Amino acid sequence: LEPKEEFDHSSLAVDVMRPRRSDPALAVLTQEGMTVGEVESLVESTHYSGFPVVVSQESQRLVGFVLRRDLLISIDNARKRQEGVVSASMVFFTEHAPSQPPDAPPPLRLRGIMDLSPFTVTDHTPMDITVDIFRKLGLRQCLVTHNGRLLGIITKKDILKHMAQIANRDPDSILFN
Ligand code: ADP
């Protein structure tokens, strides 16, 4: 995002974030309750660079953000090296391991690869402010919430696409480029 690109348009974070109404739901991980196999199939069924971690599907309360790359590396390492980690092992991002039946395979703790304070804006945050934060903090993505519930994600590319769309829709704005 070049500093010269002015963003003086009245859009809000909710206008730029994904998923759009017609898109599949946001792909999230829960802080506990998913198996290694379930995490792997979620990651492998998408191409997203990262996944928000939430308390539960019902609450959609944000806990953190994990990069696809870190998830795949950690799971791969755990399967190779960590005694007994298999597809049925439970993954947890919480501080302490959730209680499990005595015959369960060893769980996999992934709290260490999670960004515990991913940047968030609310759905009504004006995009000029969001773009300014992206530039100043050098963000790749930011999460969008409403009343503490996770709603969506905005990547740097989403912002660039949105800027290009505005320029096409509004021929006058091209004059400023
Ligand atoms: P980029 O926008 O740089 O290609 P991604 O590959 O992570 O980055 O995202 C591709 C698209 O999918 C973007 O429009 C983004 O908003 C959206 N997206 C990113 N992560 C998720 C996710 N976990 N669930 C749903 N959509 C996502």
Q: Is 133 in the pocket of ligand 1 (CB under 6 A)?
A: no
Alpha-carbon distance of 55 to 69, in angstroms, equals 22
Each domain of the chain, given as residue ranges in start order, spans 13-174
Q: Quote the pLDDT of residue 175.
A: 47
Q: Quote the pLDDT of residue 172.
A: 59
Q: Is 49 in the pocket of ligand 1 (CB under 6 A)?
A: yes
Q: What is the CA(59)–ligand 1 centre distance, in A?
A: 21
What are the distances in angstroms from CA 169 to CA 3, 83, 91, 176, 177?
Answer: 22, 57, 46, 14, 14
Q: What is the CA(155)–ligand 1 centre distance, in A?
A: 7
Q: What percent of the chain has pLDDT over 70?
A: 90
What are the distances in angstroms from CA 63 to CA 90, 91, 116, 119, 150?
Answer: 18, 15, 7, 11, 10
Q: Which atom of ligand 1 is nearest to the CA of 25?
A: 25
Q: What is the ipTM of this complex?
A: 0.98
Q: Which residues of the chain have pLDDT under 70?
A: 2-9, 170-177
Q: Quote the pLDDT of residue 53.
A: 98
Q: Quote the pLDDT of residue 177.
A: 40
Q: Is 27 in the pocket of ligand 1 (CB under 6 A)?
A: yes
Instruction: Quick: pLDDT tens for 55-98.
Output: 999 999 999 999 999 999 999 999 998 788 999 999 999 999 99
Q: Quote the pLDDT of residue 4.
A: 53
Closest residue by Cα to atom 10, ligand 1, is 48
Evaluated on CA atoms 39, 44, 48, 50, the torsion sign reads positive
Q: Quote the pLDDT of residue 82.
A: 77
Q: Quote the pLDDT of residue 44.
A: 95
Q: Quote the pLDDT of residue 176.
A: 45
> What fold, for 13-174?
CBS-domain (3.10.580)
Put the strands of the sheet holding 90-92 in their side by side order. 34-35, 90-92, 108-109
Structure tokens at 73: 């590396």
